[in-house]
Structure formats: structure tokens, C-alpha cells
């Protein structure tokens, strides 16, 4: 069995950022939120990388990464399930989370993005600076955008694995 790293598949190439940025921009417009991002978690480097983003404050808007202690997305990726928080201040698990204060998050919704072998490796998330009830329409929109992003990333992964001669079964690691 061959072990491959996500970075070996070149899924995070800069030429893909334009497509991913379009997804983030659509999320901001349709959901009327000040912040949206697609992020990847690198636990071995203790960081999240913002592949595309809108509305991040300085210095994160230019560094395009943060430490994992500022990451709500890691829960979405680890569980492979959507997460929605209507009011972070009222949520016992997240009210003291460092991301709440640093980014001014009062509400958050994130959906996993799946990569090779249907493993979650990124999250498409939106956030607001005010509490809000995420309606079914909101969840449907963000879920749809996350599925489209998954299709895009899985297509890229399949092509990269084909070029590299990688065939299942394999173990995918960060």
C-alpha cells in the first residue's frame, strides 16, 4: 500500500485559487455575509491555510493562514459534517473559542469539502459579525457550493493521481 500526501496531488496550486475565489464570492453575495473562506487544515504544521477568502481582517487577509487555535473549520473537517452556530456567544462549546474574538465571529456555518478517496480535507465556511439563525435556504446554498467545490477538487485529484500512476488502495495523509 502506497502512502500519499495531499500536497503530492498538487490540489492547492495557485492557478486553482481563481475558481475557489469565485465560490467564496458567490457565498458572500447569496448568503449576505461579511466573511467566507475555503480553508485546509495542516495539523502537522499547526495551521489552517485560506485557499480563498473574503472579509478576513489583517493580517490574515494577506498571510492567508492562521494557527489552528483560530480554526473552527477543523471541527467540520474532522467530523466530515456541516456545523452551524447561530450565536457563538450563547454556545457553550464555542463562546470562548479564540476565533470568536479574533475574527469577531458571532455566527458561523461550515460544510466539508471532500478530496481523494472521499476524505474531508477542507471546509467552505461563512460567518457573520452578528448572531443569525441559519435558515434551511442558507444551508442548502452553502451545501450546494461545498458539493461543487468537492467535485472540482476530486476531479483535480483524479487527474493528478492518473499522471502520477497512483491507484487505490492508498492511504491519504496531510
Q: Domain with 32 in it: what CATH number? A: 3.30.450.40
C-alpha–C-alpha distance, residues 86 and 134, integer Å:
6
CA neighbor of 168 nearest in space, from 57, 96, 157, 33? 157
Mean pLDDT check: name the lowest of 22-26, 64-68, 110-114, 170-174.
Answer: 170-174
How distant is the alpha carbon of residue 64 from its chain centre? Answer: 13
Residue-wise pLDDT tens digits, 123-156: 999 999 999 999 999 999 999 999 999 998 888 8
Does residue 19 lie in a domain region? yes
CB under 8 Å to 2, separation ≥6 — which residues? 166, 170, 171
For 32-61, what is the mean pLDDT?
A: 85
107, β-bridge pairs:
128
Asked if 2 and 166 count as a contact pair (C-beta separation under 8 A), the reply is yes
pTM, entire model = 0.86
Taking all residues of the chain, what is their mean pLDDT, rounded to a whole number?
Answer: 84
Does residue 2 lie in a domain region? no
Range of the domain at 103: 15-151
Amino acid at each position: 500500500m502506497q502512502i500519499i500526501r495531499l500536497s503530492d496531488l498538487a490540489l492547492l496550486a495557485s492557478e486553482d485559487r481563481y475558481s475557489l475565489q469565485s465560490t467564496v464570492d458567490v457565498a458572500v453575495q447569496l448568503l449576505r455575509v461579511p466573511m467566507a473562506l475555503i480553508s485546509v487544515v495542516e495539523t502537522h504544521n499547526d495551521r489552517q491555510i485560506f485557499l480563498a477568502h473574503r472579509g478576513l481582517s489583517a493580517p490574515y487577509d494577506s498571510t492567508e493562514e492562521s494557527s489552528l487555535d483560530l480554526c473552527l473549520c477543523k471541527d467540520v473537517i474532522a467530523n466530515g459534517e456541516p456545523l452551524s452556530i447561530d450565536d457563538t456567544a450563547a454556545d457553550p462549546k464555542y463562546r470562548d473559542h479564540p476565533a470568536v474574538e479574533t475574527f469577531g465571529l458571532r455566527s458561523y456555518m461550515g460544510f466539508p469539502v471532500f478530496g481523494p478517496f472521499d476524505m474531508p480535507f477542507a471546509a467552505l465556511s461563512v460567518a457573520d459579525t452578528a448572531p443569525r439563525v441559519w435558515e434551511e435556504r442558507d444551508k442548502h446554498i452553502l451545501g450546494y457550493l461545498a458539493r461543487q467545490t468537492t467535485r472540482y477538487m476530486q476531479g483535480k485529484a483524479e487527474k493528478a493521481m492518473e499522471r502520477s500512476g497512483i491507484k487505490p488502495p492508498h492511504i491519504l495523509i496531510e
